[in-house]
Amino acid sequence: MSKAKSLASSAEYFDYVIVGSGAAGAILANRLSEDGSTVCLLEAGPPDHTPFLHIPAGFIKVVFNPKYAWQFSSEPTENTHGRRIPIPQGRTLGGSTSINGLVYNRGQRSDYDAWANRGNPGWAYSDVLPYFKSLEKRTGGDDYYRGRSGELPISDIDWIHPLCEAFMAGAVEAGIPRNPDYNGLDQAGVGYFQRTIDKGWRMSTARSFLKPIKSRPNLHIKTYAQASQILFEGKKAIGVTYCHPRQPASGKTVMAAKEVIIACGAINTPKLLQLSGVGPAGLLQSVGIPLVHDLPGVGENLSDHYSVRVVARVKNSETMNELVKGLKLGGQIYKWLRKKPSVMALSPSLVHYFWKSRPDLPVPDLQGVFSPASYKEGYVGMLDDFPGMTTGVWQHRPASRGYVRINSADPFRDPIVQPNYLDHPDDQLTLIRGIRLARRLLRSKPLEPYFDKETLPGELCESDNELLDFARRYGVSSYHVNGTARMGPADDKLAVVDSRLRVHGIQNLRVVDSSVMPSIPSANTCAATMMIGNKAADLIRRS
């Protein structure tokens, strides 16, 4: 008897098995269980019971907590001054939508048209726009671009701070127009972020798409269920083995009559495929994993946004640094409990600007953020002890590419994660220009009454080489990893899935998460990943 058949004899049976309950997986579970199909949703982490997962300001308590977030990090390189860059990913119901910065940002029309032009029919902007819209419950904006009746509330900021208003006025003076809806006709401009917050609460995909349907008898959600291997009969996926993360011997099996769907994210998805024998033959042989299918692109093409923050000390204004301490924090909590505007219901970044590093570019290649708050050494985690403000910047479409590769057959061992930040010379030059733009915006005339002095990188940092050294020392991940199981036609040697998200060379196996992105969107990647989950459900139901 084969191992797969032996495990099947004691398994649970479903139509679909989905591995991962994050931005895409939760939406898939909702959509595929609508018509009576039996769906098993596996989540390696715990249920989303702690209040810190639901209070927007609680992200700071969970993003570096290994109970709720995978604590991945990059390999050190000269371009990060030998540092390992933390890349946490959600590990609870809702995945990273339960711990992220709450920004809802689709990206540019050209991002998706480029996906289609790379041999992926059905992924142009006109094709994916309906799937964005059908997710949204949005007030405001143009009906052509925005959805009204979806499950995901998209709200505007209701907490207005004079520093934010002054920053935006300064951006307008610098030639960056106010843009009332960067998810509409045009992304370019400056304005307040749109957030996945409703009535003061974080609206993760678990809260928006799983909680309302948790009583469906055909939907089975299993937490503390870490997938360890995809099961195959020949080259047909038939099930998944999983176990409690703290009890490796507690292995169980779920079988899929129709499909196994991997939605673990751009790090865990290639890891699981490689552990299961799908990936580069040489890599799998080196760690002793039997080959099911040689697919060189699994784990390659890793991309991320590398962010650098410029910090200034503030005068003549109270900032969030003071509002979250002592009695003032108590006052903010009281306001939040009364459903009044409060720092408890804010995203970490309040203002966006999308602009060009060079005037000759047709569309923005930079994304910037601003907050009336500052963190020690520019790193989101611990607020400065002085009144501060921060503007961060990253390159929309970095050329640097890296990889995710297992280095052991142990499913509980983290893979090697190497994004190769700033590896490409163009990325270095674009980021230097972005830092110069960020510094100019902090020194704008409307901010003069509040600008005391720049604390990071500091007044003495001026030349291109000095700014690049600053970026290498202080830059961080934006947690937008993607591309490690990229979509593309069969003649693309590094493509892992086709345009219907089916794994090349394997039956009944799909990948549905940010890893399928052929190239990184000009945006935070969460909204695009949710769209992928929504569209994939249609692709699956039609097949």
Catalytic residues: 480
DSSP string, 177-229: -B-S-TTSS---EEEEPEESEETTEE--HIIIIIGGGTT-TTEEEESS-EEEE
Written as one letter, the residue type at 43 is E
- Count of other CB atoms within 10 angstroms of residue 131: 19
- Count of other CB atoms within 10 angstroms of residue 8: 18
Pairing outcome for strands 416-418 and 366-371: unpaired
For 383, which DSSP code?
B
Pairing outcome for strands 351-355 and 189-192: antiparallel
The Cα 540–Cα 41 span in angstroms is: 16
The Cα 148–Cα 133 span in angstroms is: 7
The Cα 397–Cα 523 span in angstroms is: 9
Question: Do residues 484 and 296 lie in contact, with contact meaning Cβ atoms separated by under 8 Å?
Answer: no
Residue 102 counted as an annotated binding residue: yes
| Structure token pair of residue 335 | 């306001």
The Cα 530–Cα 509 span in angstroms is: 19
Residue indicated by tokens 């059905």: 122
Residue 488 counted as an annotated binding residue: no
Residue 28 counted as an annotated binding residue: no
Residue 103 counted as an annotated binding residue: yes
The Cα 308–Cα 478 span in angstroms is: 9
The Cα 210–Cα 231 span in angstroms is: 26
CA-closest candidate to residue 48, choices 174, 192, 224: 224
270 Cβ contact list (under 8 Å, min separation 6): 279, 298, 299, 404, 405, 415, 484, 485, 515
The Cα 321–Cα 449 span in angstroms is: 18
331 Cβ contact list (under 8 Å, min separation 6): none
Question: Do residues 486 and 504 lie in contact, with contact meaning Cβ atoms separated by under 8 Å?
Answer: no
Summarize the annotated binding site for FAD as residue ranges.
100-103
Summarize the annotated binding site as residue ranges.
100-103
